[in-house]
Structure 1
Amino acid sequence: MEIRQLQYFLRLCKELHFSEAAYKLGISQPTLSQQIRVLEDEVGVPLFDRIGKKTVKTEAGELLEHYASQVIQQLENAKNAISDLTHLHTGHLRVAVLPSDLDYRLTPILISFHKEFPHTKVQVIPSIDIYNEVLDNKVDIGVGLGIHSDHRLHRIPFYTETHSLYVNTEHDLADKDIIVSEDLAKVPLVMFPKGFVGRDLVDRWCEDQGILIHPLMETGSATSLFQLVKEGIGATIQPSQLIESFGSLGIRAIPIKHAPTRHLEMFYRVDKYVSPAAKAFIQKMETFFKN
């Protein structure tokens, strides 16, 4: 059983379509079919059922997929560990984060990280599906809202923050010391679109409070939202600490009574090799957000 055959097998498990899997692998369909037959001959049982144009995994296929994934992951871990040993402070770190707001606060961390690991390529990837990005091994670390317990992931809670109402300093509510939920139902708002993690959190909170919000405008950019607030188009409900990034725009953050609260975590696959660079990034995140 060869590593290449397992890689072919896993791709077919994902696509469940010989032509598509062969295309993704960069090989011909007959080559893929032959390699799968060789693998099936070696294990002694069919790994896929071919029903017309439909391909489905057999019970044996499901079992082999589980163990083959571990083999490929461990091989990748070994390669990365050896690379770290022979090429200190090099490599590639991929981090998925909530779009539009967390990335503003990552800049000081990235600067500090680069000074320590100047030859490590870093990709900060905004995502609204961080959980699956990590599970699918598309990124090394996820940074987002706390997730439910999953034995496949190691979780590191690192920060809890409330939300505030952001208004222009000339807004009718700008002199208030605190806002109650009933007030928010009457305030023209600009918000992230539905489907964004931050918007969904606020919507769930509003439902718990027995109120509805109907934003005048929706945009996926925090910069755009705060520009709209600055121009008096509407107010917005965002994490309280963002005032540090946008306070110079003539905007005030007003605390909300029993405010929406989010719990932030970092998480990564338990079976994944954690490089010195990844460990350093995690430590810098914890230190930065505790200060």
Structure 2
Amino acid sequence: MEIRQLHYFLMLCKELHFTEAAYKLGISQPTLSQQIRVLEDELGQPLFDRLGKKTVKTEAGNLLEHYALQIVQQLENAKNAIEDLTILNTGHLRVAVLPSDLDYRLTALLIDFHKEFPNTKVQVIPSIDILNKVLENEVDIGVGLAIQPDSRLNRIPFYTESYSLFVTKDHELADKGIILPADLENLPLVMYPKGFSGRDLIETWCLSQEIAIDALLETGSATSLFQLVKAGIGATIQPSQLIESFQSLGIRAIPIKDSPTRNLEMFYRTDKYLSQSAKAFLNRMETFF
């Protein structure tokens, strides 16, 4: 059994279509079919059933896929570890983060990280599907809301934050020391659209407080929301720490009594090799927040 054959096999598992899998592998369909037959002959079991035009994995195919994924991952880990040892500060780091406010706040950290690892290519990918991106190996590290325990993942809690009401300094509520939940009802607000994690967290909190809020304008950009607040169109409810980035706009953050809170954590696959740069990024995240 060769690694090349396992790559062929895994691509077919993903596509479940010989023609499409062969195209993505850059080989002919007869070549792919022949290599799958070689694997089946070696194992003494069919790996796929051909049901007309449909291809499905057999029980043996499912078992081989499980172990083949581990083999390919471990080989990738070995290559990365050796590369990390011989060519320090190079490589490629992919990080998925919550869109809008969280990716916005990483700019200062990324500048410092680049100074330490100038040859490491970094991709920060805003996503609302961070967990699956990590599990599917599309990214190296996920940064987002706390998830349920999962044996496939290492999890590092790094921050718990409250929410505040953000208003202009001449707003009628600007002099308040604290905002009561009831004060938010009928207040003109600009917010993220429903479906964004931050908005959904606030909506759930509102239900627990037996209040309802409504948004005059909705946008998925933190910068846009704060520009709308500055223009006097409405207030917004956002993580309290964001005031550090937007004080220059003449905006004030007022704590909310019993405010919504969110727990943030970083996570990565337990079977994945983490480069020195990836470990440094995790450490910097903990220090930064």
TM class by shorter chain equals over 0.9
- 1:134 corresponds in structure 2 to 134
2:93 partner SS = strand
Residue 55 (structure 1) shift: 2.0
Residue 17 (structure 1) shift: 2.4
Give the whole-Å Cα distance in 2 for the aligned partners of 1:20 and 1:105.
41
State yes or no: 1:161 paired with 2:153: no
Counterparts of 1:138-287 in structure 2 under 5 Å?
A: 138-287=138-287
Residue 271 (structure 1) shift: 0.2
Give the whole-Å Cα distance in 2 for the aligned partners of 1:26 and 1:60.
26
Q: Is the 8 A contact 1:128 1:196 kept in 2?
A: yes
1:137 partner SS = coil
Residue 30 (structure 1) shift: 2.7
In structure 1, give the amino acid aligned to 2:52.
G
Q: Is the 8 A contact 2:74 2:272 kept in 1?
A: yes
Give the whole-Å Cα distance in 1 for the aligned partners of 2:188 and 2:150.
39
Q: Is the 8 A contact 2:117 2:277 kept in 1?
A: yes
Q: Which moved more, 1:16-25 or 1:199-208?
A: 16-25
Q: Is the 8 A contact 2:186 2:214 kept in 1?
A: no
For residues 197-253 of structure 1, the C-alpha deviation after alignment (integer angstroms, 9 at most, x for no partner) is: 211211221222222322111111100011111111111111000000011111111
Give the whole-Å Cα distance in 1 for the aligned partners of 2:214 and 2:17.
44
Q: Is the 8 A contact 2:104 2:222 kept in 1?
A: no
Sequence identity percentage = 78
TM-score by length of 2: 0.96
- 2:46 corresponds in structure 1 to 46
Give the whole-Å Cα distance in 2 for the aligned partners of 1:212 and 1:17.
50
In structure 1, give the amino acid aligned to 2:152.
R
In structure 1, give the amino acid aligned to 2:135.
L
Give the unaligned 5+ runs of structure 1: none
- 1:81 corresponds in structure 2 to 81
In structure 2, give the amino acid aligned to 1:187.
L
In structure 2, give the amino acid aligned to 1:278.
A
Give the whole-Å Cα distance in 1 for the aligned partners of 2:277 and 2:70.
23
In structure 1, give the amino acid aligned to 2:132.
N
Q: Is the 8 A contact 1:104 1:245 kept in 2?
A: no
> Where does structure 1 differ by over 4 angstroms across 4 or more consecutive aligned residues?
none
Residue 36 (structure 1) shift: 1.6
State yes or no: 1:116 paired with 2:107: no
1:176 partner SS = coil
2:105 partner SS = helix
Change over 3 Å in CA distance of 1:7–1:249 after alignment to 2: same
Residue 90 (structure 1) shift: 0.9
Change over 3 Å in CA distance of 1:110–1:41 after alignment to 2: same
Change over 3 Å in CA distance of 1:268–1:243 after alignment to 2: same
1:94 partner SS = strand
- 2:65 corresponds in structure 1 to 65
For residues 108-159 of structure 1, the C-alpha deviation after alignment (integer angstroms, 9 at most, x for no partner) is: 2222222221111111111111111111111111111111111000000011
Give the whole-Å Cα distance in 1 for the aligned partners of 2:126 and 2:41.
44
Q: Which moved more, 1:140-149 or 1:191-200?
A: 191-200
What RMSD in Å do the two structures reach over aligned CA positions? Answer: 1.3
Give the whole-Å Cα distance in 1 for the aligned partners of 2:150 and 2:89.
31
Change over 3 Å in CA distance of 1:22–1:208 after alignment to 2: farther
Give the whole-Å Cα distance in 1 for the aligned partners of 2:132 and 2:287.
26
Q: Is the 8 A contact 1:190 1:228 kept in 2?
A: yes
State yes or no: 1:14 paired with 2:14: yes
Give the whole-Å Cα distance in 2 for the aligned partners of 1:196 and 1:28.
43
Give the unaligned 5+ runs of structure 2: none
Q: Is the 8 A contact 1:161 1:263 kept in 2?
A: yes
For residues 176-196 of structure 1, the C-alpha deviation after alignment (integer angstroms, 9 at most, x for no partner) is: 221222222211211111222
Aligned residues: 289
In structure 2, give the amino acid aligned to 1:48.
F
Give the whole-Å Cα distance in 1 for the aligned partners of 2:119 and 2:247.
34
